[in-house]
């Protein structure tokens, strides 16, 4: 049961993490529009392979922190402040993101699979994100740091990333007019950070 729960947590956390429009999903969209969905899918598989490695490394770090509760308490309080600030920024300050996707200035000849791996490797944000996910859900007793559990969460994270990139690719069909982001993604991000801040606050106050 713990393996299934770890997999589900990894899958859903990855889906949420890739929702906001960024370099990875927008690159997948542009490749899909310009070169077709097959190459965009290859790019997404490359991204997911790198995410697989990043997730495992981050969860190893989360396991270490989980064995040092004093450090976790400090990080939870710092994280709460950060997520509250992010929520306020994305809900009330950040501009509407419903805009045209910018054109790519140069067409790369690099194999799309390896391009996906390289671009994902340059994005280090998933590391603290997965550390937070592991520590937080382990605190609720929902996440196992056993080796098999880490592997289940890691695979779930990679598949969740691939699934969300696939949705982006599917959403933007190949057409002549420029694609647009139809939703204000800053609002989506703000709601996500608000939920995370609420979970963190609940965990802090219930552990006092």
pLDDT at 109: 43
Q: What is the 3-state secondary structure (H, E, C) of the chain?
A: CHHHHHHHHHHHHHHHHHCCCCHHHHHHHHHHHHHCHHHHHHHHHHHHHHHHHHHHHHHHHHHHHHCCHHHHHHHHHHHHHHHHHHHHHHHHHCCCCCCECCCCCCCCCCCHHHHHHHHHHHCCCHHHHHHHHHHHHHHCCCCCCCHHHHHHHHHHHHHHHHHHHHHHHHHCCCCCCCCECCCCHHHHHHHHHHHHHHHHHHHHHHCC
Arithmetic mean of pLDDT, 169-176:
65
Number of domains present in the structure of the chain: 1
Residue span of the structural domain in which 117 resides: 2-206
Arithmetic mean of pLDDT, 76-102:
69
pLDDT tens digit sequence for 2-61: 899 999 999 999 988 887 767 788 888 888 888 888 999 999 999 999 999 999 999 998
> What is the pTM (predicted TM-score) of this model?
0.70
Query: Is the model more confident about 36 or about 110?
Result: 36
pLDDT band at 189 (very low <50, low <70, confident <90, very high): low
């Amino acid at each position: 049961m713990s393996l299934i729960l770890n997999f589900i947590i990894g899958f859903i956390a990855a889906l949420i993490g890739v929702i906001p429009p960024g370099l990875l999903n927008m690159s997948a969209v542009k490749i899909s529009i310009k070169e077709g969905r097959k190459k965009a899918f290859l790019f997404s598989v490359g991204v997911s392979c790198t995410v697989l490695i990043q997730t495992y490394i981050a969860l190893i770090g989360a396991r270490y922190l989980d064995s040092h509760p004093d450090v976790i308490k400090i990080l939870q309080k710092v994280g709460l402040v950060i997520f509250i600030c992010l929520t306020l920024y994305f809900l009330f300050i950040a501009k509407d993101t419903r805009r045209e996707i910018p054109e790519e200035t140069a067409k790369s000849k690099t194999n799309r699979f390896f391009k996906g791996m390289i671009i994902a490797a340059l994005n280090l944000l998933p590391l603290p994100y997965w550390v937070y996910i592991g520590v937080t859900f382990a605190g609720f007793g929902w996440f196992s740091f056993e080796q098999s559990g880490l592997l289940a969460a890691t695979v779930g994270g990679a598949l969740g990333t691939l699934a969300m990139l696939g949705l982006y690719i599917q959403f933007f069909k190949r057409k002549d007019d420029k694609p647009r982001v139809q939703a204000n993604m800053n609002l989506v991000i703000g709601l996500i950070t608000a939920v995370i801040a609420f979970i963190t606050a609940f965990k802090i106050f219930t552990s006092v």
